[in-house]
Every structure is written in C-alpha cells, then in structure tokens.
Chain A
Amino acid sequence: GEDVEQSLFLSVREGDSSVINCTYTDSSSTYLYWYKQEPGAGLQLLTYIFSNMDMKQDQRLTVLLNKKDKHLSLRIADTQTGDSAIYFCAERRIIYNQGGKLIFGQGTELSVKP
C-alpha cells in the first residue's frame, strides 16, 4: 500500500520506556522523521534519521531503522507525563515533478500515567 502506518494508542507508566512503531512504504525514502503534537498545537520536530543509518540517539530518544522491513521505531527512555502527546512518523517521498513531500502516519497517541 501507499500508507505510512502506526498503532493508534500507547499507554505507559511514568518512568517506563515507550516504544512507538511505524512502517513506511517507499524504500527509496531518504529521510524519516518523528514529530510530536501536543493538543491544539502544531508539530514539533523531535528527531530524524537518514536512510543510511540504523540507529540514532538523542538524549532520551532513540530511533531505530530497519530498511529491509521498512520499519521505524522511536524509543523514549524514562517517559514523563510531559511526553503525553500524539507522535507522527513521516517519510520523505520524492514525487515526480513535485520534489519531496512528507507522508505522515496516522499518529500514535501516547498516554503517560503517573
């Protein structure tokens, strides 16, 4: 298919690790992104990974990329209540004659319980 897919909900306890998964479709996508959206707000870029990387770590965030399975994950260590939000993965897809566009997943709503 042409969709980027994510599970819709994830609930964790404060202090645990959260893992949000995403599958994408275009094997030629060069960049994959994770964005965070809090209620009523725009999207905040959390991190990205280039397609020639398997892993990227940035403080509490770890991104893993499995190109063979077209699978992307975002791990949040020591999850806090302030991490409660919707997380979108996105792939940069090149469209003929239109350049690069972001294709978003449906978003995963992360709920962190104290």
Chain B
Amino acid sequence: GAVVSQHPSRVICKSGTSVKIECRSLDFQATTMFWYRQFPKQSLMLMATSNEGSKATYEQGVEKDKFLINHASLTLSTLTVTSAHPEDSSFYICSARDFDVPGTGYQETQYFGPGTRLLVL
C-alpha cells in the first residue's frame, strides 16, 4: 500500500526558533499533499493544501508567513514553522493524495504520515 513518512517524529525547540517538518510519499508520486494540525482529543484541522510546483493554498485563519510550505518535488513537501511559540505546540500530520484506478473505477485516497509532535518551550 501507499506509504507516507514524516520527519522528525518529534521535536522540542526554543521559542523564537524555526522548525522544518518533512513529508514524503515513498512509493507513489503526489502532486498534492495536505498539512493538518491536531490538538489533543480533537479532530484534524486542515491548515493548507500543498501543490507541487505552485504556491500552497492556506485555510482561513492560517498564517502563511508563519507556516511556510514548499512542495518542491512530487514526493516531498515541507512545512516550516517560523518563529515558533508555545501556542504552536501541537501534533502536525501530513497526507499525500493518490489516484488509483481499481477494477471498479477511479478512486482518490489520502494516505497519512505518522505525524510530528512539536513542543515549543
């Protein structure tokens, strides 16, 4: 099956520093990847849609200058949390969209990475 990796799995940083999180599709090419944020015991909140070779599309209320997204290749998207503060501490999950054509027809599926736990001190 389709596999998506994230690196690092957890990171602790000081307030004011920047943190980069990588999301890779390992066995398929993904023109579109998604970045989500999840707070404890809550659902996933879509932050932005990352498109290979073009600018990311951010959801309302998400600061694009704070959460920089780069989708430089068909297998890699990065999220950089700039000037991180304690309120940015969260679980960040990426997904990659795959298109499949099984016997019953066209199918679109998002495969998720294992997540990155960010703690800003």
Contact = CB atoms under 8 A, between A and B. Distances in A.
B43 A48 contact: no
Contact of A42 (B6, B42, B57, B104): B6
Contact of A43 (B46, B93, B97): B93
A31 B93 contact: no
B107 interface: yes
Contact of A104 (B43, B57, B104, B114): B43
B112 A106 contact: no
B43 A42 contact: no
Given A41-B114, A42-B6, A43-B93, A31 B43 contact: no
Contacts of A40: 115, 117
Nearest to A97: B57
B115 A102 contact: no
A98 B93 contact: no
Nearest to A31: B108
A99 B43 contact: no
A42 B107 contact: no
Q: Which of A31, A44, A102, A106 has the most CB of B within 10 A?
A: A102
A35 B111 CA distance: 10
A51 B49 CA distance: 24
A92 interface: yes
Given A50-B104, A88-B43, A98 B57 contact: yes
A104 B110 CA distance: 12
Contact of A98 (B49, B97, B105, B117): B49
A48 B107 contact: yes
Interface string A88-114: 100010000011111011110000000
26 contacts: A31-B107, A31-B108, A31-B109, A33-B109, A33-B110, A35-B112, A41-B114, A41-B115, A42-B6, A42-B113, A42-B115, A43-B44, A43-B95, A45-B109, A45-B110, A48-B107, A50-B104, A50-B107, A88-B44, A100-B97, A100-B108, A101-B49, A102-B46, A104-B43, A104-B44, A105-B43
Interface of A: 31, 33, 35, 40-45, 48, 50, 88, 92, 98-102, 104-107
